């Protein structure tokens, strides 16, 4: 006997064809702010560096003409191929409500973009390779550490000292020293300025950059210095939209190098000028898609790029060590 609930037998289950990617960094954040060299060839690219010269006082009439030597050095950037790929089984697609191939490709493209940034950060804090004295191979290792380049490192406990400036309302305390602080930013800006690194380009765009995690930005926002009224003339910083402050453009990057663990976890913050770092590209990301006869003719997508990076001028790269808060 029929009843009013029989109609429920014909109900259907409908599934969305929308696909949501996991939260992740989707594009490169650093490449556009360093020196770029496209269309590289060979196993390595070389960046020539020319030193400074000095004007001399002419102290006598008809004096001999000066003959001065200007230093030449060369940095080597080795090609580092990167790749990724995936299969999509035919019956998987038939059993799903959407074509998984496109979201897989999107996820892989995002991974390639993140790899560009990781290559730049690794180059900033890693060894560079240089040649001078007539050599051309770039075989001399330039190790990045505080012993070789003490002026380029700002310690995790760096602190100008307690002071109170009644005109600006600045309050410095030792508690601010362990994380990213105004003192550390001012110190980094001074280091770059003393090297005559231009702070802005001809169009007024900033050339001093800070690369740090959200944890360090949060610490900066909560510091007593930033909460001072006269330091909060950058409205975006007060509203949590930190992109320019204390002469730096901020770039948020969540996989900065760390050392230690637990309450002693130290995270490195990168300050740099675009001339301090170089990114070289032998091959921009390419994608090849084919049906593999050796794999039951299922589609295979292959991604590849050939890239490299180096630190060019140590004077334009600064490592700021900070405790990473939970």
Taking only the tens of pLDDT, the chain with its 326 residues reads 666 555 556 555 655 656 677 778 889 999 999 999 999 999 999 999 999 999 999 999 999 999 999 998 999 999 999 999 998 887 777 777 777 888 889 999 999 999 999 999 999 999 999 987 777 788 899 999 999 999 999 999 887 765 444 333 344 454 556 889 888 999 999 999 999 999 999 999 999 999 999 888 888 877 766 666 545 544 565 466 658 888 899 999 999 999 998 878 999 999 999 999 999 999 999 999 999 999 889 889 999 999 999 999 999 999 999 998 76
Helix (H, G, I), strand (E, B) or coil at 42: coil
Please give the model's pTM, rounded to 2 decimal places.
0.86
- Report the relative pairing of strands 209-212 and 244-245 from DSSP bridges: unpaired
Give the residue numbers spanning the domain of 256: 150-276+313-323
Number of domains observed in the structure of the chain: 1
Residue 286 lies in a domain: no
Supply 204's token pair. 């007024």
Residue 145 lies in a domain: no
The full DSSP string for 101-151 is: HHHHHHHHHHHHHHHHHHHHHHHHHS-EEEE-TT--S--EEE--STTT-GG
Residue 28 lies in a domain: no
- Report the relative pairing of strands 244-245 and 248-252 from DSSP bridges: antiparallel
The full DSSP string for 57-95 is: ---STTPPPP-----EEEEEEE-EEEEEEEE--HHHHHT
Residue 107 lies in a domain: no
């Amino acid at each position: 006997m029929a009843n009013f609930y029989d109609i429920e037998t014909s109900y259907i289950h409908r599934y969305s064809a929308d696909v949501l990617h996991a939260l992740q960094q989707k594009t490169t954040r650093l490449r556009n702010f360093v020196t770029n060299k496209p269309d590289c060839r060979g196993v390595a690219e070389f960046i020539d560096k020319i030193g400074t010269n000095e004007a001399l006082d002419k102290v006598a009439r008809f004096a001999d003409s000066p003959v001065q030597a200007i230093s030449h050095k060369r940095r080597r950037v080795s090609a580092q191929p990167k790749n990724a790929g995936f299969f999509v089984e035919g019956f998987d697609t038939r059993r799903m409500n959407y074509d998984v191939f496109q979201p897989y490709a999107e996820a892989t493209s995002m991974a390639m973009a993140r790899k560009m940034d990781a290559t730049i950060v690794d180059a900033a804090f890693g060894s560079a390779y240089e040649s001078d004295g007539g050599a051309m191979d770039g075989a001399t290792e330039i190790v990045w550490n505080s012993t070789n380049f003490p002026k380029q490192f700002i310690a995790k406990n760096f602190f100008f000292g307690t002071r109170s400036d009644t005109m600006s309302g600045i309050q410095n305390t030792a508690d601010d020293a362990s994380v990213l602080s105004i003192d550390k930013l001012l110190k980094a800006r001074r280091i770059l300025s003393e090297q005559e690194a231009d702070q802005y380009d001809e169009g007024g765009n900033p050339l001093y950059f800070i690369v740090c995690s959200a944890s360090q930005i949060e610490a900066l926002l909560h510091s007593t210095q930033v909460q001072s009224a006269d330091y909060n003339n950058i409205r975006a910083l007060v509203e949590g939209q930190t992109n320019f402050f204390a002469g730096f453009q901020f770039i948020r990057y969540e996989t900065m190098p760390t050392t230690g663990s637990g309450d002693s976890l130290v995270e490195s913050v990168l300050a740099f000028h675009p001339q301090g770092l170089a990114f070289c590209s032998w091959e921009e990301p390419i994608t090849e898609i084919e049906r593999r006869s050796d794999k039951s003719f299922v589609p295979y997508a292959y991604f590849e790029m050939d890239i490299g990076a180096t630190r060019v001028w140590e004077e334009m790269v600064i490592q700021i060590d900070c405790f990473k808060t939970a």
